[in-house]
Structure 1
Amino acid sequence: MTQHTDHLIIGGGIIGLSAAWQLAQRGKRVHLIEQFPPHHTRGASHGSTRNINNAYHEGFYLDLFDEAFTLWRELEASAPEPLLNLHGLVTQGDEATVLASHEALAARGADVALLTPAEATARWAGMRFAGPVLLGRRAGIGYAARALDALENAAQRDGATIERGARVLAIEPIGDGVRVEVAGADGAVRWVTADHAIVAAGAWSQPLLAEHVDLPALAVTEEHPAHFTPRDPGLVWPSFNHMFAPDALDERGGNVYGMPSPGEGVKLGLHAVGHEVDPDQRTFAATPEVRSAVREHVAEWFPGLDPDSGVEISCTYTSTPNGRFVLDRVGPLTVAAGFSGHGYKFAPAVGRILADSATGLSLPPAEFRLDSHGVAPNAA
């Protein structure tokens, strides 16, 4: 027997669930398929915290951040626990990057300030600062696990169905719609048809779409931030970025990000330095080089953390060559891929974009469409 729905969503991470929430709010029949159980550790959406980071200088990202912030608050109003903690985010390092973000945010009237190293140290004694420090006050952390639950609950309240433990084997555009071959949790294989499908499958996106959509090269990497123990439990921590000039990245390994993670210490990682992996064949272990680079950064810049206390965690990035997301419609498919390690904070707004695309209301913003990645959209 073939099952039919208005909108099929493949992938139940933060992006797929955001799209399900937005479509279900509009009264659409939505069926979401996710291969793993809730709060699994195989993708990019798990864990307790993510940065809510507004330190961008590009207008299209700042527009997306503003919309996402409004939608986070809307979602939070129906959730049993807070989804955001706006303790602020500091960005330091490459002066040109810091000043460009400050200029762009200040021009929009954002609540930001430039601090001296002494002013920043007086607030956050567990960190070392050099050069101008950008403080964004409407920033901090998002509670990632809570957000997944809130999105799933909100989507289901509005009628969406969530199927877990099922794996999509094939996608076939047919006429004005699409059909998908699915292996259910019981092992039975069936077909699901839909007027439209959103593919938000993270590290599994490229193989699922290879026959139907010419995507830019998507590098799937395994990344390994770690939680570090503060030397003094009374220290106050912001979220943070440490940006390096392009010519220094080879030596440093990557830009640094992090945040306090309640009950786990302070999370710190290098951005986009992991080795490429098959998402079904991961080791979940950091290389000695990454482990050493993370520890060295803590020892140099975080006197308030014990650099030998790191507890590693693992996630995947699915990255495009230019670091921008891939959001586009190709026939009866809408693609959401390549979030490049910085998509979480934008997820509710991306969900709205995907819902607009799926319902034919509008295409995604030009900055994220396939042709912006040098790929001509082909007919599915």
Structure 2
Amino acid sequence: MTSYVVVGAGLAGSATAWELARRGHEVTLVERTTPANEHGSSHGSARIFRYGYQDPFYTGLVVRAREAWDELEDLAGTRLVTPTGSLDHGVGRRPDNLAAMMAGAGVEHELLSAPAAAERWPGLVFDSDVLWHPGAGVIDAEGSVLAMARLAEAAGATVLTGWPVARVVADGSGFRVLSDDGAELRADHVVVSAGGWLPDLLGTLPAALARRVPPLQVRQEQAYHFPYRETPDGLPADGWPTFIHKIPGIQVYGLPGGRDAGFRGQKVAEYNGGPVIGSAAAADGVVDPANRARVVAYVEEHLPGLVPEPYAETTCLFTNTPDEDFVIDGADGITIVSPCSGHGAKFAPLIGRLAADAATGAGEVAPAFRLAAVGA
């Protein structure tokens, strides 16, 4: 039996541990605090599941991910993706091209004029054609992490919490994984899926491997929850979709807020609008007033169905490569898994399969996910 240590119990790490365990491997999943904690990228109950990509590779990947979500929900016995549908609009979002990508992948969609969309969704203002696809929804990130960690344990994995990794040291044909307090695990293979903590861990990995990882940019993103305006009959508005709107100077996304915001409104944020920090260790959880002002101004102009006064706000971490492609690759017994958290959540259970394939050699690594060539 081959043994694996998976570092990081977020969406990607818990998915990888589950997949390795159910393939019959000995797996230990270690997390510096607790799974889906607020110091990483997988906390909270609201992430977007959508098919809208300008690249047919990623559109097709979402189709595969939906099948993986269906299996996960069935095995976990709970709904983890709530259907809402999604809207893409704004000239910069290129709705017509997104429609072509979806047509090629067999994804149900509809391309509408701005006036036609305004009739159906009066709470939003549209300035271009609008792409609607009903298969989108909202992912319960925390619930998904906990479900996959439970399934991993049921398949024989060990989950260790309060176990921050300090170093990974080659030891003969395997590795020693050392914690901050000197605890030690031994494994044949190590999978590092540490999200915003990955930049710090790279320095503890073999230098030849670390040099092949593309530059990682960690941002402290900010999101705001705006209450729905009441309808004329006094009832709360409902039926809001997720959306992405890209115009010169700003790209904004929104989705119905989950239980962590009381289901009272829409979660709205500027994509990649937060400050760049070195790693998760530098996050301070402080919302930038200038970012808040930009998003409030956007809501005032483009989302008349919302009250432009946030009732809750939060920060989270995005970890991205320069081209926003994922990293799922490795060498000599160490696999790096960095499914950029700006858009990786929707792929979580599929990421586990791809990462397990990469770690075990059971499948080919997609060219887009490979590390730089040796010597590059």
Pairwise same-fold verdict (TM > 0.5): yes
Residues 1:260 and 2:260 aligned together: no
Q: SS state of the match for residue 73, structure 1?
A: helix
Q: SS state of the match for residue 267, structure 2?
A: strand
Contact 1:218 1:338 in 2 (8 A): no
Q: Letter of the aligned partner of 1:30 in structure 2?
A: V
Q: Letter of the aligned partner of 1:243 in structure 2?
A: K
Q: SS state of the match for residue 343, structure 2?
A: coil
Q: Letter of the aligned partner of 1:308 in structure 2?
A: E
Query: C-alpha separation between the residues in 2 aligned to 1:167 and 1:87?
Result: 37
Corresponding position of 1:297: 298
Corresponding position of 1:313: 314
Corresponding position of 2:245: 242
Q: Letter of the aligned partner of 2:175 in structure 1?
A: V
CA drift of 1:32 comes to: 0.5
Query: C-alpha separation between the residues in 2 aligned to 1:89 and 1:329?
Result: 35
Residues 1:204 and 2:197 aligned together: yes
Q: Letter of the aligned partner of 2:69 in structure 1?
A: W
CA drift of 1:102 comes to: 0.7
Moved more, 29-38 or 78-87: 78-87
Q: TM-score, normalised by structure 1?
A: 0.90
Deviations 1:240-272 (A, max 9, x none): 10123xxx23xx3xx111101242411010111
Q: Letter of the aligned partner of 2:363 in structure 1?
A: S
Q: SS state of the match for residue 280, structure 1?
A: helix
Query: C-alpha separation between the residues in 1 aligned to 2:328 and 2:153?
Result: 24
Query: C-alpha separation between the residues in 1 aligned to 2:150 and 2:47?
Result: 20
In structure 2, the CA distance between the partners of 1:377 and 1:33, relative to structure 1 (3 Å rule), is farther
Aligned residues: 361
Contact 1:173 1:332 in 2 (8 A): no
CA drift of 1:191 comes to: 2.1
Residues 1:284 and 2:285 aligned together: yes
Q: TM-score, normalised by structure 2?
A: 0.91
Contact 1:60 1:367 in 2 (8 A): no
Contact 1:320 1:340 in 2 (8 A): no
Corresponding position of 1:193: 186
Query: C-alpha separation between the residues in 1 aligned to 2:364 and 2:163?
Result: 29
In structure 2, the CA distance between the partners of 1:363 and 1:191, relative to structure 1 (3 Å rule), is farther
Corresponding position of 1:62: 59
Deviations 1:142-195 (A, max 9, x none): 111211121111111111111000111101233432221124xxx4x2221111
CA drift of 1:338 comes to: 5.6
Percent of pairs with identical residues: 34
Corresponding position of 2:214: 216
In structure 2, the CA distance between the partners of 1:273 and 1:166, relative to structure 1 (3 Å rule), is same
Contact 2:317 2:341 in 1 (8 A): no
Corresponding position of 1:353: 354
Query: C-alpha separation between the residues in 2 aligned to 1:306 and 1:42?
Result: 29
Any gaps of 5 or more consecutive residues in structure 1? Answer: none
Query: C-alpha separation between the residues in 2 aligned to 1:217 and 1:264?
Result: 38
CA drift of 1:57 comes to: 2.3
Query: C-alpha separation between the residues in 2 aligned to 1:108 and 1:272?
Result: 27
